[in-house]
Chains A and B, each alone.
Chain A
Amino acid sequence: MNLNRLLTSVAACLLLLAPISASSLESRSIYRSKSLWETHAGEKTTLVRLRGAPVVATMVYTSCQMSCPLMMNDLKAIEKALPAAVRSQVRFAVFALDSANDVPAKLRDFAEKHGVDLTRWTFFHGSPASVREVAALLGVRFKELEGGGFDHSNVITILDSEGVIVHQKLGLRQNPDDTLKTLERLAARR
């Protein structure tokens, strides 16, 4: 027991000394993923770029007529409902399911159409393998349909500043109260 405690404190000291690097990421952090992405601005990147702020993450595709506009509205409603001091800290990450079509230029158009503030929002385009990996990390189920488009689960995920999933909401037009509370709590912690 005492030995355990000693080892734990030694381990804790070592952790404090460890340099900040990808490997020092929390064990449950999705930012450990090595998947490669390109932002709406055409910048090549990995998920670690999202580190350091609470993040609201989701997956959509831009040619989607039904659920994705609703999902975007849900996200914008969350953004709007946040107190200004919290809103300025929160970042939005939207991952495109459609690797073939949702190239950065398409994502810029989509962002513009939705009138979102690109200092807070980032849209990501990736290879099918990257999309599959992030879908697996976020627990998003999806299937490409005959004749284009995707069947997919609508999930809003809240990540803490280290990329650990702290809250998820399945479905569209859900009551956002607990999502807002989670973001306020994360922002207060910083």
Chain B
Amino acid sequence: MRSSLLLASLLASPFLLGAGPGVERPIPAGSYLPFYPARAPLGKAQPEAPRKAVAVGAFRLDVRPVTNREYLAFVKANPEWRRSEIGRVFADGSYLKHWRADLSLRSRAEGDKPVTRVSWFAAAAYCRARGKELPTTDQWEYALDDGGHRAERMKDEILAWYSRPNDKVLEAVGRKPANGYGIQDLHALIWEWTLDFNSEMSGSEARSDGTKDENLFCGAGSLNARDPSDYAKFMRYQFRGSLHADYTTGNLGFRCAREETK
């Protein structure tokens, strides 16, 4: 098992279809400019620059999003996460609605598609069962940023995807070229849960000082953003800010990550 995984990760070069379930790639430490503003606690000096680079430590990230087939194996082993068993507090009524039944997919082809209609609780439990965790928002955005590699082209691709209506039929994972870190499908297939999706305050949230942070909202607000042209990042920021942990939708899935073992 271990040697086949090792073999698979050796073969998981960006353009090969060799990446098996849960295959990861190492992501080197570095930093990136997040969309959200830097803030210090109230009463302390606020950072001079509203946005500054965030350091991200080395970690390992799944090459691809988790598929229906992989998720099926998880619910087989963990009955409490089956569609018929799950507590409504952990996932809303459309959890895994696209499956034929508790333990069966609608077709073989579904198995290769990213699992969607999973809540944050379910996604987090899956990753924990694999000895991993959901990536943090910083890790996920940093992996997408790819050290600025092909940044302009990627921005255009992402906006083109965001502006398309949701695809009725999802593609299988791993059909598109990997980025510079060897990671696939970070965009143009599904949106993904992050561990701390709820660190992004939605517009109606009362802030710790009881005032609203005008820096963060649409229209004039987005002009204050780090890079107003980076509307794609702004959309992801707003999207995560709108989620609740029990939400499930047909275009929201996940992948797992873990700390680099020292």
Contacts and interface: CB of A to CB of B under 8 A. Distances in A.
Interface of A: 25, 27-30, 32-33, 64-67, 132-133, 135-137, 139-143, 145-154, 164, 170-172
Contacts of A149: 40-42, 44
Contact of A151 (B89, B120, B124, B207): B207
B206 A150 contact: no
Contacts of A66: 42-43, 208-209
A135 B120 CA distance: 12
A147 B45 CA distance: 10
Nearest to A32: B87
Contacts of B244: 139
B87 A27 contact: yes
A143 B138 CA distance: 12
Contacts of A28: 87-89
B209 A141 contact: no
Report whether over half of chain A's contact residues are helix, strand or loop; otherwise say mixed.
Answer: loop
A150 B208 contact: yes
A151 B39 contact: yes
A28 B88 CA distance: 5
B198 A142 contact: yes
A114 to B, nearest CB: 19
A154 B199 contact: no
Contacts of B195: 132
A95 B27 CA distance: 34
B206 A147 contact: no
Given A28-B89, A32-B87, A67-B209, A148 B202 contact: no
Contact of B43 (A27, A65, A172): A65
Nearest to B52: A146
A141 B41 contact: no
26 contacts: A27-B87, A29-B87, A64-B208, A66-B42, A132-B196, A136-B120, A139-B198, A139-B244, A140-B198, A141-B199, A141-B200, A143-B199, A143-B200, A146-B39, A147-B40, A147-B44, A149-B40, A149-B42, A149-B44, A151-B201, A151-B207, A153-B206, A154-B206, A154-B208, A170-B204, A170-B205
Given A66-B43, A149-B41, A171-B206, A141 B90 contact: no
Contacts of A64: 208
A173 to B, nearest CB: 8
A33 B201 CA distance: 24
Nearest to B87: A32
